[in-house]
Amino acid sequence: MVDELEALYRERLPEFTRAAAAIAGDPEAGRDAVQDAFAKALRKRRRFRGEGSLEAWVWRIVVNAARDAGRRRRRRVAAPVPVEARAQELGLPLELLTERQREVLFLHYFADLDYTTIALGLGISTGTVGATLSAARETLRGALTKEAC
Amino acid sequence: MDAYLDGLLDELVTAEPREAWSDVLHRARRSRRRYMALAALVGALVLAPAAWAAVNAFEGTPAPPAISEDFTQLNSMADLAVQQGIAAKWPHADVSKAHGVIEIQTADGPEDVWTAPSDEGGQCYFIDWANDPPEQDGSQYGFGGCPPAIPPASNISWGAAWIAGHPDLVTVDGNVYVDASTVQVTLDDGSTVTLPLVEHVFLGSLPKGSVVDKVTAFDAAGNVVARATAAAG
C-alpha cells in the first residue's frame, strides 16, 4: 500500500498540485495541502477498504486538505487569494460559481479526472458531477458572452 | 466560447509541483509524535495556574506602535478591498483603542492576541510573537483580520493558522459570541485542549499538523453554551 501511494504521488503530482492550488486558492497552500494529504493517507491507509480506486480515495483526502487550507487562508487575509485575484485579472467570473461547481470544474479541468473519480473524490453521485459541471460551464459561458456583447 | 473558456482556465493556476516524497514520510511520522507533545501541553495548562495568571496580566496592555501599524495596515487593505469592488464595505479598526487581550507561552516565545473595536460593532484582531523583531516598515510580523460582527449560527468563529515565520506551530484562535468561561478544542485524534478566553477571544498554540475538529465553549458551571465544528467553521 505504501508503494502504491508513492507511485500515485510520483505519477500524478502535477495534477494533484494544480487542482489543490485551485481549490485552496493559493499555489503554496495547494502544495502544502497535497503533502499533508499524502501524509494522512499513509497514516490512515488501513482505513482504505477498496471501495472504489485508491486514487479516488486519495483525491478525497486531497480535496478536504485543500478546502481547509483555502478556508484558513481566506480567514486570515483581508484580500483576494492569488487564484481569485488572477481570475479577476483574466475576467473569469469564478465568484458566480458555488464551491461545489468550482471543485468539480477544477478536478475535471486541472486533473483530467473522469466523472466516477470526481464523484468518489467529492462524495457525490456521478450524475451530480455531470450536472454540476454543465451548470458551471454554462454560468461562465453566459457571463463571458454577456461581457463580450 | 468553449475554447476561450478553456484558455482562461489554463492561465488561472500555475502551480509547479515540487516532488518531495521524503517530506510526506516525515509529515506522517511527525504527526504521530505530535500527540505526545500535545499531552505535555495539556498537562502544562492544567498544572500551571501561574500561566493563567500571566494571561490575565496581559489584558488591557496598550498596543505598541508596531501593533498599531498592523491595525493601520489592516485598514488600508480594507480600503483596497472596497476600491477593487471585492466588497461594498469592509470593517475598519479603531486603532486608538487597540490593546492586548491574551498572551500565551509557546515554543517560539510569547504569542499575543491584540484587538481593536471595528466600526461595524465587532472586533478586529492581530496575533504576533513578542520576541519577533519589528519589520522594516515598522509593523510587527503576524496575522489578523476583522471578522463579521454578526455571530455565526454556532456562536463561535474560529480558525487554525500556520504561518511561515513559525513553521512548527499552529495557532488556533477565534471569538465566542455568547458569555462563556472557557473554550475547549477537540483534535482529530479525540484529544482536547483547554484555551484561555478573555473578552470573548480565545487563543492557543498547537504543534504544526494538529487538526481541530471541534471548538466548544463552556460557562462557569461547565455547561456547553456554544459549539462549532470544522465543517461549519
Q: Which residues numbered 39-58 in A keep a CB inside 8 Å of some CB on B?
A: 39-40, 42-43
At B180 the pLDDT is 94
Which residues of A are less than 8 Å from B162 in CB distance? 72
The count of other CB atoms within 10 Å of the CB of residue A112 is 11
Residue B106 CB contacts under 8 Å (≥ 6 apart), including other chains? B129, B166, B169, B205
Per-residue confidence (pLDDT) for residue B49, from 0 to 100: 46
Summary mean pLDDT of chain A: 86
Chain B residues lying within 8 Å of A80, measured CB to CB:
84, 86
Contact yes or no for A71/B157 (Cβ under 8 A): no
- CATH code for residues B18-47+154-233: 2.60.40.10
Average pLDDT over residues A113-127: 87
* Strand order across the beta sheet in which B192-195 lies: B192-195, B182-187, B212-218, B224-229
What is the ipTM for the molecules in this complex? 0.82
Alpha-carbon distance B51 to B92, whole Å? 32
Exposed, middle or buried: residue B51 (CB in 10 Å: 0-12, 13-18, 19+)? middle
CATH number given to A2-148? 1.20.140.160
Map residue B38 onto helix, strand or coil. helix
Q: Does A9 touch chain B (CB under 8 A)?
A: yes
Chain B contact present for A83, CB below 8 A: yes
pLDDT at site B47 = 45
pTM higher than 0.80 for the full model?
Answer: no
Domain locations along chain A: 2-148
pLDDT at site B30: 65
CB–CB contacts below 8 A, A to B: 112
Q: How do the pLDDT tens digits run along chain B, 233 residues long?
A: 578 888 888 888 877 777 788 888 888 776 554 544 454 455 455 544 444 444 567 888 899 988 999 999 889 888 887 787 776 778 899 999 999 999 999 988 899 999 999 998 888 999 999 888 777 788 888 888 887 778 888 999 898 888 888 888 999 999 999 999 999 999 988 899 999 999 999 999 999 888 899 999 999 889 999 999 875 44
Q: Are A93 and A64 in contact (CB under 8 A)?
A: no
Q: Report the amino acid identity of residue B68.
A: S
